[in-house]
Chains A and B, each alone.
Chain A
Amino acid sequence: MNTLENLISLLSRLPGVGKKSASRMAYSFLKGDEEYNLKLGQSIMELKQRIHKCHICGNFTENDICDICAATDRDITFLCVVEESQDVQMIESTGDFKGFYHVLHGVLSPLDGVGPTELGFDKLVDRIDHSSVKELILATNPTLEGDSTALYIRHILKDHDLVITRIASGLPVGGDMEYADKMSISRALKGRMKFSSDDE
């Protein structure tokens, strides 16, 4: 296998990249600017050296402790559990959540060998035991695996003095019911909320 073929085969292992686009990328590197290639290569090399998981929450950071965990103006009574670092970014981009996070880096999937040990739930429990968290928000995805993971967390924390909530799921805002899939509609119906002016 020559250098070009080797690169194509490496690129095509990336998520969402097929053989065809991998080959287009490789040829574009070959024809393109050498400085760009060097920068890209360097960035990829530095990625794993510089970035690691935050000691407290598991989110990716260049420091020992991530910016969110280091912040002093956030609400320590809220803790939000998510599957991946990308989820933290998504929630942060809304600006609606001022609590802290816990990143699992996965979900329960016994068939793939991912169990409680692999997801480090003891760390989560330990963290809750040593903090002033009052509400734990389970924001794992509304999938079979995400639900199982949320259920397990609820199960191991059942004797803790803590409010546990599950992120709501259902219809996309601004979306048309007509275009939503049946499972989402069904879930939205089950998770319906009281709609009255009582609390005004």
Chain B
Amino acid sequence: MGFSSVTLCSFRNLKEQTLDLSRKNIYLVGNNGQGKTNFLEMIYYLCYAASFRTKNEKILIKNDAEYLNISAKFHHSNDKISSSIKLYQDKHQKKIKLNGKLVRDRKDIISNFPCVVFCHNDLYFVNGSPEKKRIYLDQCISLNDSIFITYLRNYKKILKERNMLLKNKKIELLDVYTHQLIETGYPIQEKRRELIQFLNEKFDTIYSEISGISENLKIVYNSSWKKSGKSKILEDIWQKKIKEIQYGITLTGPHRDSFSIMMGSNDYLNFASTGQLRIISLILRILQSEYYQISTGRLPVLLVDDVLLELDSEKRERMMKFFPRYEQIFYTFLPDDMITSSENSITYRVNNGLLEKIE
């Protein structure tokens, strides 16, 4: 089922309103800049209490408002009853209430109504910085494994401490924090490798079907720890010790890792067109949804922001063949796009922040 209704107040440019979302397919039609993407961002915010467009959540609050407020009802088809979620954010703090109960840690809502967003910036997962690529991997895993979020938090803390020791040349503690760096970092790498193995099972087949060319692509994890096994890694870090002290920073670990799309022994980035990279970024999102579905037995909510428009109609059709199953989908369209409405869909016209149902 998915979200059945939402009431929103002071979220970006969106007008204060209550909306019926009680269909599997929700279409948002409008010109650019009217609030379609803001609406998707609002749904994403309900799912994760975070935005996919900004880290500065204060800018989500409407210009002249003191705070934003959203509440929604959600009904998962596996569950007997529906859940309610409320989000409040002012300039200082955020409050989340799940079924009337205050949620203290954001990680406790992440697995409740997960969504997968297909947006323009997904291209960075393919041709962006290693950091963007790590975000993709970590997001995929966090969706169905909340313990992974603890792994990431622990690693981040140890890394920060270790960097401080290196910077201040407090060498006496270095051994302990190197040990801890490996202990907390190793499971992160293991999980990421497992994910990549899963991705590779289908990635190349889907790519050649959609693009129409067979390139034999493979996703490869680039580890900054060149050795495998904890004791080998320890030895390796030990040898870099002088360099690390000199630079005052931890030079290797999961925070430096990345992945590449390889064609044989060459990085596909050097050969692919922007259109081909776009297809790859879409496949990464499709596989993210499937990974979630397979490991949890639940279906995600999908948010699709214009990305399919960049493909020609033939590729678009082939793409749809591989489109993941979903609990609910939110789809943005431009006014002249063809939409086939059905009894399974609701179409909203988005105009200057106001959503109006088109019957």
Contacts and interface: CB of A to CB of B under 8 A. Distances in A.
Nearest to B175: A155
B39 to A, nearest CB: 34
Interface stretch (A19-27, A110-118, A131-139): A110-118
A148 B154 CA distance: 12
A103 interface: no
A111 B160 contact: yes
Q: How large is the interface on A (under 10, 10 to 19, 20 to 34, 35 or more residues)?
A: 10 to 19
Interface in A127-149: 144, 147-148
Contacts, number: 41
Contact of A182 (B146, B154, B183): B146
Contact of A116 (B150, B172, B177): B172
Given A116-B173, A182-B146, A183-B150, A111 B179 contact: no
Interface string B155-177: 00110110011000010110111
Nearest to A121: B172
B144 to A, nearest CB: 12
A111 B164 CA distance: 7
Contact of A144 (B146, B154, B170): B154
A148 B147 CA distance: 20
Contact of B180 (A111, A148, A186): A148
A151 B158 contact: no
Contacts of B176: 108, 148, 151-152, 155
A116 B176 CA distance: 12
A148 B177 contact: yes
Nearest to B155: A144
B152 to A, nearest CB: 13
B179 to A, nearest CB: 6
Contacts of B180: 144, 147-148, 151
A110 B175 contact: no
Contacts of A109: 161
B164 A182 contact: no
A110 B165 contact: yes
A112 to B, nearest CB: 10
Interface of B: 146-147, 150, 154, 157-158, 160-161, 164-165, 170, 172-173, 175-177, 179-180, 183-184
Given A111-B160, A116-B172, 10 more contacts: A108-B173, A110-B170, A110-B177, A115-B170, A144-B157, A144-B158, A147-B183, A148-B177, A148-B180, A155-B175
